[in-house]
Amino acid sequence: MQLSRDFDTSSYLLAPDPGAARLTRKTTGHDHMGREIETSVVEERPLTIFLNSQEIVTAMTIGDHPEYLALGFLSNQGMLEGSDDVTRIDMDAELETVIVRTASRTTYEEKMARRTRTSGCAVGTVFGDMMEGLGGLTLPEAPLRTSWLYSLAEKINRTPSLYLHAGAIHGTVLCREDRPLVYMEDVGRHNAVDKVAGWMLSEGATPADKILYTTGRLTSEMVIKTAHMGIPVLASRSGFTAWGVEIARMVGLTLIGRLRGQRFVCLSGEERLIRDVDVSESGKIQKRGSLGDYP
């Protein structure tokens, strides 16, 4: 824990703020020895997302960055397309609602008027609609250095976060090469990804040279969201699902899982990996050379 408190987050464009108001609350309990303790637990609250006048979904979230969550969710679900001009995003903290407004009515509002959804962690995805958006999608063939993976894992694990402070949380980090840029957290891993997507849309960030790191499982939906965002690399400390691997291979997504210490498994995109470090049984990592040494 001392390492995380001392870690310099100045390289981040947006980093977690585990001490922010309303994200946690103090409560008392007892430890394994029966001693009374005080600990922090994560708050979760409902957030209802509207697209213009149509209610879309109610998601359970920690409540930070609601505008990014709403914008990213609608985009990743295919409810907002490039031709949809977002004019503004309105947040009502008292009513716990966020409204994404577009210049004209979207094609999705009529469809959603017939099936409003309520969800928790998985945000109740209409999976078929997301799959339709993958037709003909091919991601850029971005090279990935293994030294970047090791560096990112070490930096992200040491970053002060709500997870280290209270647990019960998922994290998603937008990265470029070996630099973590934007770190989002939430009770649902999909919420955290959607927040990153919303930030990228708001800032006009280019996805082709980015890496998405997540603490969650590499499921089909996580792969689809990453592909919709145009990000060519998805990495996680957790494992895979078979359908997630199939979709990653279909769209050309480099998929790295079980990233812990010096170990990882690549199930899609091996041809794009640049193994620029020697990992020895002694536990020492030695760099082979610069990126310029490789084709």
- What is the percent of the chain where pLDDT is above 70? 83
Cα 204 to Cα 110: distance, rounded to the nearest angstrom: 28
pLDDT at 214 over 90: yes
pLDDT at 286 over 90: no
Domains of the chain: 45-132 (3.10.20.10), 144-293 (3.40.140.10)
Cα 91 to Cα 100: distance, rounded to the nearest angstrom: 9
pLDDT category, 106, cuts 50, 70, 90?
Answer: confident
Query: Hey, what are 141's tokens?
Result: 């063939």
Q: What is the pLDDT of residues 161-204, one digit of tens each?
A: 999 898 889 999 999 999 999 999 999 999 999 999 999 999 99
User: Of 177, 173, 210, whose CA–CA distance to 195 is shortest?
Assistant: 173
pLDDT at 120 over 60: no
pLDDT category, 34, cuts 50, 70, 90?
Answer: very high
pTM attached to this predicted model: 0.87
How high is the mean pLDDT of the chain?
86
Cβ neighbours for 132, distance < 8 A, ≥ 6 positions apart: 78
Beta bridge partners of 50: 55, 99
pLDDT category, 130, cuts 50, 70, 90?
Answer: low
User: Of 248, 230, 258, whose CA–CA distance to 174 is shortest?
Assistant: 230
pLDDT at 281 over 60: no
Phi then psi for residue 86, to 5 deg, are -75, 120
Task: Tell me the mean pLDDT in the region 200-214.
Answer: 96
pLDDT at 1 over 50: no
Would you tell me how many other CB atoms lie within 10 Å of the CB of residue 252?
Answer: 17
Give the count of alpha carbons within 13 A of 35, CB side only: 4
DSSP string for the chain: -HHHHH---TT-SB---TT-TTSEEEEEEE-TTS-EEEEEEE--EEEEEEETTEEEEEEEE--SSHHHHHHHHHHHTTSS-TT--EEEEEEETTTTEEEEEESS--THHHHHHT--EE-STTTT--HHHHHHTTTT-------EEHHHHHHHHHHHHHS--HHHHH-S-EEEEEEETTEEEEEEEESSHHHHHHHHHHHHHHHT---TT-EEEESS-B-HHHHHHHHHHT-SEEEESS-B-HHHHHHHHHHT-EEEEEEETTEEEEEE-GGGEE--EEE-TTS-EEE---GGG--
pLDDT at 81: 76
Q: Which residue has the higher pLDDT, 130 or 127?
A: 130
